[in-house]
Structure 1
Amino acid sequence: MPLSTEVVDGTIAVVTMNYPPVNALPVAGWFALADRLRELGADHSVHVVVLRAEGRGFNAGVDIKEMQRTEGFEAILGANKGCYAAFKAVYECAVPVVAAVHGFCLGGGVGLVGNCDSVVASDDAYFGVPEVDRGALGAATHLARLVPQHLMRTLYFTGRTIPATALVQHGSVVETVPRAELDATALGLAREIAAKDPRVIRAAKEALNGIDPVDVHRSYRFEQGFTFELNLAGVADERRDAFVQDGKAAR
């Protein structure tokens, strides 16, 4: 099942993404995730959400192959709207969202994690935004929530990745653990939050969003405008075609 939910201890909703081979979500997947998070936030029996994934890595962003086999701009528009909806749903979920990240977390994955409330990761996890190499822009808003500004710009311009162990030093990842311990660690943190009075935690989530110094929705939407420009100019299509061809050559 591409998207599943398990309730632990009656109060913790564990949402699992499973889109083989690399958890690059199709358009429908982003909207499905957004819907699921909104539903869970509206359910007052849910105190915390844990967002995790199966497979080789947490998330590889959007499904570029879906874009390139779809005529016109329908897929790129869908991916942009879907990502916006999913990132927004994470940020606005009425309860805290804990990300449990393993392996790669790229592009749209950084968009999800950057909007989560707490992040734990396996010691093999790494983060990056390769949008520049794909002829797109986006998720700098969310990468900037994980690393300081100058490092964010360097990572963004170069497409480099950064290990989760380094993010612990920046305070954006709570801790890194062996992959075999990741789920238990994320659940341990979720249980700690779930044990609090849920009325206070829901108020705290709303309050913390209200004092956030950056409007993540407006900031990300501004970035997306440049992606549309690059698509109209034909640049994005060229870069996505090159990515797909490189993937075929690698096989």
Structure 2
Amino acid sequence: MGVSTSSPDKGIALVTVDFPPVNALPVQGWYDLADAVRTAGRDPEIRCVVLAAAGRGFNAGVDIKEMQREHGSGRHSALIGANHGCAEAFAAVYECEVPVVAAVQGFCLGGGIGLVGNADAIVAADDATFGLPELDRGALGAATHLARLVPQHLMRALYYTSRTATAAELHAHGSVWKVVPREELLDAALELAGEIARKDGYLIRLAKAAINGIDPVDVRRSYRFEQGFTFEANLSGVADRVRDTFGKERQA
């Protein structure tokens, strides 16, 4: 359980997240993921990173139960930790010195959108769904990253309704590179990573820096702006009220 790194082929680092049962990451898990991606990107032998997850879903966001276990000021500390951890993991993917290919199966929710929205390419299983159920969980954020996956008005509708989009729908919008049967997901992601890894290592790093440099949105600053509203929701008490309802619904 946790975050592990392997090298399945020359020039490729495979970073795998495994936090059963649903890959909802605790605070430390986000920091561990950020460290793993940054470390892989700094390795001069690595030319592409594949970000994958074990289990039935790619990512279910933050571990809400971890926050619910805390009370009073401790809950605020857990919230701050989760927000900072997510910000670091999202930034690590975006700022990784080499391209990052996300291999997505099952559900990709909340913080998962932050990861894949900042990736350079996405390969998805045909059972993958993408969405931000933040409003149902007393939170806000990652609209910055969802807006990198779908057109503006669709992003807003998905955000306000907490609905999800399928891998096929995202492929139609051009944000998913390829959709494959689930059993072929890792091979397909490694195939794309292998094609990237065959490029000159120095040149691929220049390409990543150049493409980030012409990005019209500063994703780190944009996400930080969103986080301010998450903190406001928590200070007002509405976030706890919604989260407590979410917890009771899950138990029922």
Distance in 2 (CA, whole Å) between partners of 1:243 and 1:233 is: 18
1:154 is displaced (CA, Å) by: 0.2
Counterpart residue number, 2:178: 175
1:108 is displaced (CA, Å) by: 0.3
Q: Which moved more, 1:80-89 or 1:68-77?
A: 68-77
Counterpart residue number, 2:191: 188
Q: Determine whether 1:121 maps to 2:124.
A: yes
Counterpart residue number, 1:47: 47
Q: Which moved more, 1:5-14 or 1:150-159?
A: 5-14
| Letter of the 2:52 counterpart | R
Aligned residues of 2:57 and 2:105 also touching (Cα < 8 A): yes
Find the partner of 1:161 among 147, 151, 164. 164
Counterpart residue number, 1:110: 113
Q: Determine whether 1:223 maps to 2:226.
A: yes
Counterpart residue number, 2:35: 35
3-state DSSP of counterpart to 1:61: coil
Aligned residues of 2:4 and 2:36 also touching (Cα < 8 A): no
Counterpart residue number, 1:151: 154
Q: 1:55-109, CA deviations, whole angstroms, 9 ceiling, x for partnerless residues?
A: 1100000000000001221110100000000000000000000000000000000
3-state DSSP of counterpart to 1:24: coil
Q: 1:193-239, CA deviations, whole angstroms, 9 ceiling, x for partnerless residues?
A: 00010111000000000000001011100000000000000011111
1:246 is displaced (CA, Å) by: 1.4
Work out the number of aligned pairs and report it: 249
Find the partner of 2:86 among 63, 69, 83. 83
Identity of aligned residues (%): 67
| Letter of the 2:248 counterpart | Q
Distance in 2 (CA, whole Å) between partners of 1:108 and 1:47 is: 25
Distance in 1 (CA, whole Å) between partners of 2:68 and 2:187 is: 39
3-state DSSP of counterpart to 2:216: coil
1:10 is displaced (CA, Å) by: 3.0
Q: Determine whether 1:204 maps to 2:207.
A: yes
3-state DSSP of counterpart to 1:62: coil
State TM-score, norm by structure 2: 0.98
Distance in 1 (CA, whole Å) between partners of 2:10 and 2:243 is: 43
Find the partner of 2:95 among 68, 92, 96. 92
- Shift >3 Å, 4+ stretches: none
State TM-score, norm by structure 1: 0.98
1:2 is displaced (CA, Å) by: 1.3
Distance in 2 (CA, whole Å) between partners of 1:179 and 1:41 is: 27
- Which ranges in structure 1 are unaligned for 5 or more consecutive residues? none
Aligned residues of 2:144 and 2:222 also touching (Cα < 8 A): yes
CA root-mean-square deviation:
0.7
Distance in 1 (CA, whole Å) between partners of 2:34 and 2:236 is: 30
Distance in 2 (CA, whole Å) between partners of 1:106 and 1:236 is: 18
| Letter of the 2:70 counterpart | T
Distance in 1 (CA, whole Å) between partners of 2:94 and 2:20 is: 25
3-state DSSP of counterpart to 1:182: helix
Counterpart residue number, 2:241: 238
Distance in 1 (CA, whole Å) between partners of 2:248 and 2:6 is: 38
3-state DSSP of counterpart to 2:50: strand
| Letter of the 1:108 counterpart | G
Q: 1:32-66, CA deviations, whole angstroms, 9 ceiling, x for partnerless residues?
A: 00111111111111111000001110000000000
Counterpart residue number, 1:247: 250
3-state DSSP of counterpart to 1:201: helix
